[in-house]
Structure 1
């Protein structure tokens, strides 16, 4: 997970995965991937950790 800053200054947490396929001469043929916005999950985990720290 990596933080990204949007042009408006908002921070979003993203996970990016991808792969490149190559031909027999090691030239790239195809690139594919996906990016997922994990901001809600990251914020929920931070809140959960804070609550656990305050209670314990």
Structure 2
């Protein structure tokens, strides 16, 4: 039962459960990442591939 509940979908067809995932983006030194679209928060990791200015509500 718990395994089946893991894959239940809502009325729009999306999975009802969320998972504690981490998305890490690696770029070349010529490209900088600034911002993210969707439900996420910043990991507060600063490197050469991260833009200098935080944008958005979560500061990504």
> Which of the five TM-score ranges fits, normalised by the shorter chain?
under 0.3
Q: Larger C-alpha radius of gyration, 1 or 2?
A: 1
TM-score (norm. length: structure 1):
0.25
Name the structure where strand makes up a greater proportion of residues: 1
TM-score after normalising by structure 2: 0.24
Higher helix proportion: 1
